[in-house]
């Protein structure tokens, strides 16, 4: 699967989401260089809360919104009816080397390739 490599994290100053490339220092400070910047400059770096960083999965929800690690989603009826079916979150599984779907109702894990019709309702950091 080809996908754009990007990360998301909460800005430490105003608690807004920043999306871009990640820079992490040994002292545990983490910055994101926003993709909307035209030139690479240290003045464009935004310090983010390290614990909120999530990687883009390469998938989008039914409304076209990009799905990141840590997002919480509701699965919906495949017929286009916004009927709630189940809630799950996106997690990284280091043992399997990939993103997984973790259903909150039964703690079952499934490969992200099995992503059902869904809509993002939040994330584990908000």
Does the structure show a pLDDT above 70 at 81?
no
**What pLDDT score was predicted for residue 18?**
92
**What pLDDT score was predicted for residue 41?**
66
Q: What is the mean pLDDT of the chain?
A: 85
Report the distance separating Cα 24 and Cα 85, nearest Å: 38
Lowest pLDDT segment from 22-31, 34-43, 84-93: 34-43
pTM: 0.85
């Amino acid at each position: 699967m080809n996908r754009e490599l990007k990360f998301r994290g909460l800005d430490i100053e105003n608690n807004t989401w920043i999306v871009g490339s990640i820079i992490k220092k040994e002292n545990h400070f983490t910055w994101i260089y926003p993709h909307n910047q035209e030139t690479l400059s240290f003045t464009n770096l935004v310090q983010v809360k390290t614990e909120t960083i999530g990687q883009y999965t390469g998938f989008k929800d039914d409304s076209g919104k990009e799905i990141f690690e840590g997002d919480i989603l509701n699965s919906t009826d495949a017929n286009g009816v916004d009927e709630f079916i189940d809630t799950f979150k996106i997690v990284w599984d280091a043992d399997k080397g990939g993103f997984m779907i973790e259903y909150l109702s039964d703690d079952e894990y499934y490969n992200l390739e099995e992503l059902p019709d869904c809509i993002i309702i939040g994330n584990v950091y908000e």
